[in-house]
Amino acid sequence: MSLSTEDVKRIAHLARIEVTEDEAQATLQKLSGILGLIEQMQAVDTAGIEPMSHSQDVTQRLRDDVVTETNQRELFQSIAPAVENGLYLVPKVIE
Amino acid sequence: MINASLKDLATALGARQISSVELTQLLLDRIARHNPEINAYITLDAEKSLAQAAAADVLIAQGKAGPLTGIPFAQKDIFCAKGWRTTCGSKMLENFVAPYDAHIISQFDAAGAVNLGKTNMDEFAMGSSNETSYFGKVQNPWDRARVPGGSSGGSAAAVAARLAPAATGTDTGGSIRQPASLCGLSGLKPTYGVCSRYGMIAFASSLDQAGPMAKSAEDLALMMNVMAGFDSRDSTSLQREKEDYTRNLNKPLAGLRIGLPKEYFAEGLDAGVAQVVLDAIAQYRKLGTETVEISLPNTQLSIPVYYVLAPAEASSNLSRYDGVRYGHRAAEYTDLMGMYCKTRAEGFGAEVKRRIMVGTYVLSAGYYDAYYLKAQQLRRLIAQDFEQAFKQCDVIMGPAAPGTAFKTGEKTDDPVAMYLEDLYTIAVNLAGLPGMSVPAGFSNGLPVGLQIIGNYFSEARMLNVGHAYQQVTDWHTQMPKGIE
């Protein structure tokens, strides 16, 4: 499979990373190398093999539905880029 | 003192030959002298370290000391430590002061250990040379023009240069074992799920595992006693009985069956490294072990499989860095989308962006079955290779890395060449098995590590295997020149 710089820009946008034209060019070459490496997988027939998402065969634990965390809003917001009245500030989303 | 084992340090502290404050200050002085060049540490906080040391001295005086009380440890900068800047090697977290402790950090604190500082690492643990760190490259103490390996390169360099008695690391595809090999250290990646991932900044969650890096297998065992254990805050932490990892250290090795995978001695392995590894195996035969040739036929596939699964998981994990709640935010933007895109373009380095984009691509609409699902199917084949192999042997041995430490800059322009550094380590992460590297000698003056792979939960036996070798060799006590 071969990628174009348009593909790179589309992927970068999906990943929410701004790229310049030059960066898209440079990234194209390196991503193509990596995807070429990944392509080796297609040589193996994996029909009927159960996918493995995790190395241990365990089920998700559930805990009791009780409050375990204390309110640390001020501590957590002290490291935020922009807050006001206990709220995180972001650019206007709804007109 | 700087080359002492953890056990000897504990004895010296207990006998009041040195206090924890004195030991911590001695190491801080050494760091002040050597770190400007080696760059093993990103963040130091002498006040905090010395306060912990003073508290440890009180415990020692009261006779309440445990095996690690008062001993300083370097902590990889991937572990959140409350009140400490925790960067994960990234500009994105340059000013992030962690508001809570990782489980591993709490465990060291509870043991009365001292946090000596946060060590340098590849950005978000993505790299095999420590060159992707936003905070600069790290020198290999054995040859300052060479890399220490990665991603736990700062931890490895710190211990190798005797700027810490021991350190923590994390291993997603070889990030403990490869730098241990390149810096002449012992390093253990435990079975997946043995050490809690709580507060350990996520890269690829189904592969990430914390582990100890130290001079000897015995030191690793003492650290594992503190690091391992169930933690309900990590949903993949395994509920198991608490183990004493030192319990088997002195067991004889007679009758141990060592599997030698033919794929680990094939093309791609440096001849000097191969010789050192074969000499180590000859030494093991003298200890009464047997060797058996085995095959791990899907070894080559582990690299492409890893470079689908790890970036896919990373692209998801790193989506949290959006400039809203913590971390870097771009100074200028016009709307929310622009803020996200600029923040992430500025905050992440080139390799991290590449991996996020690979992950985004393989997970994007229409490609899931061809890449992600396919990789998960192959992951099972890779795990089954080990399952078959362990019917014939008790441990597997081979090289930890295909070569010795390479020159800084040698592989930075070729991601694929860099990825091949992890050829012998990645499959172990995919299978979730424990793997270890112990110093086995030198090739052209550079350290070579012997990798020991065990079956699930066989860490105590593997540490025994490493310790027995270290009773008849002295590679693990050798120090680089120029670190006086």
What pairs with residue B83 in β-bridges? none
pTM above 0.95, yes or no: yes
Contact A33, B415 (CB under 8 A): yes
pLDDT digits (tens, 9 = 90+) for A56-83: 888 888 889 999 889 999 999 999 999 9
Rounded CA gap, B449 and B438, in Å? Answer: 5
Chain centre to alpha carbon of residue B378: 25
CATH number given to B6-255: 3.90.1300.10
Fold of A5-42: Histone, subunit A (1.10.20)
Distance of alpha carbon B266 from alpha carbon B280, whole angstroms: 18
Determine the residue among B326, B351, B455 to mutate to test chain A binding: the one whose Cβ has the most chain A Cβ atoms within 10 Å. B326
Please report which confidence band the pLDDT of residue B415 belongs to, taking 50, 70 and 90 as the band edges. Answer: confident
The alpha carbon of residue A7 is apart from the nearest alpha carbon of chain B, in Å, by 9
Please give the pLDDT value at position A94.
84
Per-residue confidence (pLDDT) for residue B241, from 0 to 100: 93
Partner A, chain B 327-356, Cβ-Cβ below 8 Å: 327-329, 333-342, 344-345, 348, 353-354, 356
Structure tokens at B373: 């699902």
For chains A and B, what is the number of CB pairs under 8 angstroms? 165
Cβ-based contacts of A69 with chain B (< 8 Å): none
Q: Where are the beta strands (DSSP E) in B82-151?
A: 114-119
What does the block give as tokens for B481? 């020149």
CB B470, CB B438: distance < 8 Å: yes
Evaluated on CA atoms B365, B367, B371, B377, the torsion sign reads: positive
Domain extent listing, chain A: 5-42
Q: B 405-424 residues with CB below 8 A of A? A: 414-416, 419
Rounded Cα distance, B398 and B391, in Å: 18
Q: Do B73 and B108 touch, CB atoms closer than 8 A?
A: yes
pLDDT tens readout for residues B118-129 = 999 999 999 999
- Is there a catalytic annotation at residue B175? yes
B189 labelled catalytic:
no
Query: B163 with B64: CB under 8 angstroms?
Result: no
Say how far residue B353 (Cα) sits from the centre of its chain: 22
Strands B257-261 and B210-214: unpaired
User: Can you spell out the DSSP letters for B386-408?
Assistant: HHHHTTT-SEEEEESSSSSPPBT
Q: How far is A60 from chain B (nearest CA, A)?
A: 7
Q: What is the tens place of the pLDDT at every residue in B392-410?
A: 999 999 999 999 999 999 9
Nearest-CA distance A79 → chain B (Å): 6
Which chain B residue has its CA at the smallest distance from A95's CA?
B335
Q: Which of B76, B137, B215, B342 is catalytic?
A: B76
Q: Where along chain B do its domains lie?
A: 6-255
**Closest chain B residue by Cα to residue A27:** B354
ipTM > 0.90, yes or no? yes
